[in-house]
Amino acid sequence: MLVAAVVLIACLSLFNLVLTLTVARRSSATTTSAEEPPANRLPDGSPLPEFSLETHEDGTLGRADLQGEAIVGFFSTTCRPCRDQAPEFARTVRNIPGGRAQVLAFVKGGGPAEAELVELLGPVARVVTEPAGESGASQEAFGIVRWPSYLNVDAEGRITGRETVGALTVPTAPAAQ
């Protein structure tokens, strides 16, 4: 009887090990394919969507308020790369022709991290804040799926690139004639 109990426990342990390894393998396969975040929903060449947003300091802003080439950035307070890349974004857009009127920054979240991002981005961009956990204007209108995201917008209001912060194309002032 004792031998049968030991054999039964050994068989159950072996079965548990096989199940654990199977689950671990499936989990790592899912993680590997999910490493590349999904693409945002608006492809390059799409017109900027119509929107009406309340900015942090500048009142209501709509699509028509972005004249000429512009840059749009999307940040989340719960996203470590967003917080890490925000200072580089601020440095990159600091000298854009037209100043902060040509830069729109979305900050999703709340709390102290939101206040820090708004303080950092406010001098170089018009900032829109959105509560965490809700599908806000940035996600719906701009088709944002991954954070951080950056858009280059041409003078006709079309998305010309979804870049990394280091690869953003910052317009330059036209040369004086």
Domain range summary for the chain, segments of one domain joined by +:
1-36, 52-167
Residue 11 reports pLDDT greater than 60: yes
Strand order of the sheet with strand 149-153? 126-130, 103-108, 70-76, 149-153, 159-163
In this structure, of 21-25, 39-43, 114-118, 149-153, the range with the lowest mean pLDDT score is 21-25
Q: CB-based contacts of 142: which residues, under 8 Å, 6+ apart?
A: 40, 42, 48, 49, 51, 72, 74, 106, 151
Tell me the C-alpha distance between 83 and 72, whole Å. Answer: 16
Model-level pTM? 0.74
Once rounded to an integer, what is the mean pLDDT over residues 33-53? 76
Q: Which of 8-17, 77-86, 109-118 has the lowest mean pLDDT?
A: 8-17
**CA-based end-to-end distance of the chain:** 100
Residue length of the chain: 177
What is the reported pLDDT for 8? Answer: 78
**Does 52-167 carry CATH code 3.40.30.10?**
yes
- Which SS3 state, helix, strand or coil, does residue 74 take? strand
Give the Cα separation of 168 and 102 in Å (integer).
14
For position 84, what pLDDT does the model report? 95
Given pLDDT bands bounded at 50, 70 and 90, which one contains residue 122?
very high
Helix (H) or strand (E) holding 160: strand 159-163
pLDDT per position as a tens digit, 94-103 = 999 999 999 9
pLDDT over 90 (residue 144): no
